[in-house]
Structure 1
Amino acid sequence: MTWPEFLSYDLLRGLHIIAVIAWMSGMMYLPRLYAYHTETAPPGSEFDAHFQVWEQKLLRIIINPSMTITWLLGVTLILWHVYAAGQGWAFLGQPWILLKLAVVIFLSGWHGFLAGARKKLAAGQRPKSAKFWRATNELPFLAAVVAVLAVTLQFWAR
């Protein structure tokens, strides 16, 4: 199998990083919206309806598409390592890539949790406090730091 020339590693990696930035930005902003929504907008109020629109648009227009693009480009980068770089599938067993994949799975789960929370808020439920949302809105950033350092330093790969 030959690798298409226009799909250079640098292009794929750059597009992947851009998609990750958009995904993380949205996932750091959404919990902040939830905090404000929880503490300032009683269920059924006009302000509640505004928050619901903002949260839904953030998920539908920014977070969901950027996660999809991140995953597609990430899988493409894996295939690049396997085929174009000739590393084969064994590189997936290296600690740095396992750590990165664990972070991606965590972030995808957190994304799902945030999407589920939006539905609960839209239904008038407030299962988490504003304090919870403020305390957790930096989780995507911290996870991204781990993933970026794992890839750029390639821990234990040498």
Structure 2
Amino acid sequence: MSILWLKAIHIFFVIAWFAGIFYLPRLFVYHADATNLAVKEQFKIMERRLWWFVLPFAILTAITGVAMIYQYGSDWLKASPWLHVKLTLVAGVYGYYFYLYKLMKQFAADENTRSARFYRILNESPVLLLLAIVILAVVKPLI
């Protein structure tokens, strides 16, 4: 497979994954504010379905990313300090995504103790990670 096709597919998976990363905490905002039991139950379903829907995109993002690194080769990896920083930030995104899973399980068990404001802030935080990752991938400022 051409590296350009691999990059295109990788970018698609990243976008699809981030759609879920941006929307799930927004559901948490509404869920934390909800008072109606039926509405809370509906949010639980929506949150669970969304998390599991975007999980394959998270996995495919990792697979295509590793495939690109493999195609470029180990010499390229060693000579690309921007990539090391990017991969560290990407690890942070995966940590964030699995933290959302933990929060989703707390909501599912009716054990949420955080406010909607907390989830609003949480919802906005991955934007900065994504910006840094895109800048590193496109500009490669550490070369």
Judge same fold: TM > 0.5, yes or no. Answer: yes
Change (3 A) 1:73 1:41: farther
- Runs in 1 of length 4+ with deviation above 4 angstroms? none
Q: How much does 1:66 deviate?
A: 0.8
> Could you state the TM-score of these two structures normalised by the residue count of structure 2?
0.94
- What is the match of residue 101 of structure 2? 115
2:13 to 15, 19, 24: 19
- What is the match of residue 55 of structure 2? 64
Matched, 1:135 2:121: yes
Q: How much does 1:156 deviate?
A: 2.1
* Percent identity for Structure 1 against Structure 2: 30
Change (3 A) 1:34 1:90: same
Matched, 1:30 2:21: no
- What is the match of residue 149 of structure 1? 135
- The Cα offsets for residues 31-63 of structure 1, whole Å up to 9 and x where unpaired, read as 010010011145xx11111001100010111x2
Distance in 2 of aligned mates of 1:69 and 1:41: 37
> Based on CA coordinates, which of the two structures has the bigger radius of gyration?
1
Number of residues paired by the alignment?
Answer: 143
Larger helix percent: 2
> Could you state the TM-score of these two structures normalised by the residue count of structure 1?
0.85
Name stretches of at least 5 consecutive residues in structure 2 with no aligned partner. none
Is the contact between residue 24 and residue 141 of structure 1 (CA under 8 Å) also seen in structure 2? no
- The Cα offsets for residues 88-137 of structure 1, whole Å up to 9 and x where unpaired, read as 34524532101110111000000010001000001001132100110121
Distance in 1 of aligned mates of 2:88 and 2:101: 20
- The Cα offsets for residues 55-95 of structure 1, whole Å up to 9 and x where unpaired, read as 0010111x21110010000000110110xxxxx34524532
